Amino acid sequence: MTLHSPSLLDAAAGTPVLVGFSGGLDSTVLLHLLAHAPDRREAGLRAVHVHHGLQAGADDWAAHCQRICDEWQVPLHIIHVQVGDDTGLGPEAAARHARHAAFAELLQTGEWLALAHHRDDQAETFLLRALRGSGSDGLAAMRERRAFAAGQLWRPLLHVPRAALEVHARLHRLHWIEDPSNTRDAFDRNFLRNTVMPLLAGRWPDAAAMFARSAVLAGEASGLLHVHDAQALHACDGGDGTLSVTALRALPPPACARVLRLWVQQRGLPPLPGNGVARIRHDLLDAAHDRQAEFRWQQARIVRWRDCLHAIGELPHWPAGWQARWDGHAPLPLPDGGRLELHGAPAFDTPLQVRQREGGERIRLPGRGHSHLLKHCLQDAGVAPWLRPHLPLLCDAAQVLAAGDRIVSATLHGWLRERAAHLRWHAPAPAN
């Protein structure tokens, strides 16, 4: 496929497009193609420039992008972002993460984000993934189109060599920015681009095309595997988003690994680290049935409980000693982001104290003549161990009346039943 192919931009016909516009050669050519394509403006076309502030000339780059967009009559959004140096991702990945977050926030429902990655970029990505020991999913490198935020991420130039972009740019006398950081071989991608790829091309002229072709084949294989992964994940479903330990252990190790990664992705957790699957298999799947084993990484963890794996995000902590008086008239926000509500009654007869568990509390359940340790009641009720510290206790002086809406004392149960009322506890959401 070349820049003169009439089908290059057909995929987005009639679809509004947001172009990621850095001002460099690649994105300049892409924006030029879209801005001068028939009927493109009627469908909706705009551009976004992410101002990282990492280069001395960043303000000049933004001004250059604005001039180009004004000349081509394309609305431009300039977004300033902060690239953190404490993410542990490295400078390239941190900047990319900040950039994609800005894109996701701006992208409208049904709109496509067009990025100018080309065939040479694809070859470099394939090599970088191979050097990191990636499997077929990673070697598939970049996809021409995939779901992204409220719309789609689209790379229409992914099969076009960079040389063709240069020819187009010079033919149409386009002006673009040369990023000085592209010459720094300290960055892995730059080292591949400036040193390794020219060396390979000297011996194998079609090296970039062949690497890109391998990425396509890996993508096809990955797509077939994903179908099998979804079926295996369904077979391992333990209910409520959990995985059955018994079913996982019955899978061959490679299939188990893929199911675990897919499950973690679907639960919205960070990707598992390189040793994640091995640790889960050894520490969780092979753990004793009565042991609450867990694996932690970043702000997430997987816990084995009751023969199932549970994927859990990090829950906010309560401040030490926090307590409040609550009359039930209005919902009570809790310090971890949870919430308590009283439904069916205007308020309690007298305000109750709300606090966190301290340990050793006892509660008398309906129909029982004596009190029980709250700890044992929570276990019998099947309240997950990681949620127990977040259950707010409702107390009247030293008497525990309820633990959220999971355990309710005989006294409060009778009061609620007389009024056809009930408590509702909304559990906290995991922190971002």
**In the chain, what is the greatest distance between 2 CA atoms, to the nearest angstrom?**
91
181 is annotated as contributing to ligand binding: no
Q: Which helix (H) or strand (E) holds 404?
A: none
Q: Is the dihedral of CA 402, 404, 408, 413 positive or negative?
A: positive
Q: 233 phi and psi, to 5 degrees?
A: -65, -40
272 is annotated as contributing to ligand binding: no
DSSP string covering 112-179, please? EEE----HHHHHHHHHHHHHTT--HHHHT---SEEEETTEEEE-TTTTS-HHHHHHHHHHTT---PPP
Cβ–Cβ under 8 Å, residues 275 and 257: no
Q: Across-strand partners of 343?
A: 422
Contacts of 32 by beta carbon, 8 Å cutoff, 6+ apart: 72, 168, 169, 172, 174
Q: Which helix (H) or strand (E) holds 4?
A: none
Counting Cα atoms < 13 Å in the Cβ hemisphere of 141 gives: 26
22 is annotated as contributing to ligand binding: yes
Residue 188 Cα distances to 18, 121, 132, 193, 251, angstroms = 29, 13, 11, 9, 37
Among candidates 298, 134, 290, 125, which has minimal Cα distance to 221?
A: 134
Among candidates 337, 334, 326, 298, which has minimal Cα distance to 429?
A: 337
Instruction: Return the number of other C-beta atoms located less than 10 Å from residue 247's C-beta.
Output: 18
Cβ–Cβ under 8 Å, residues 272 and 264: yes
Cβ–Cβ under 8 Å, residues 116 and 26: yes
Separation of alpha carbons 277 and 236, rounded Å: 16
CA angle 243-244-249, nearest 5°? 110
Q: Is residue 41 classed as helix, strand or coil in its secondary structure?
A: helix
Separation of alpha carbons 296 and 314, rounded Å: 10
Provide the H-helix boundaries in 236-369: 245-249, 253-266, 276-280
360 is annotated as contributing to ligand binding: no
Residues flagged as binding site: 22-27
Residues flagged as binding site for ATP: 22-27
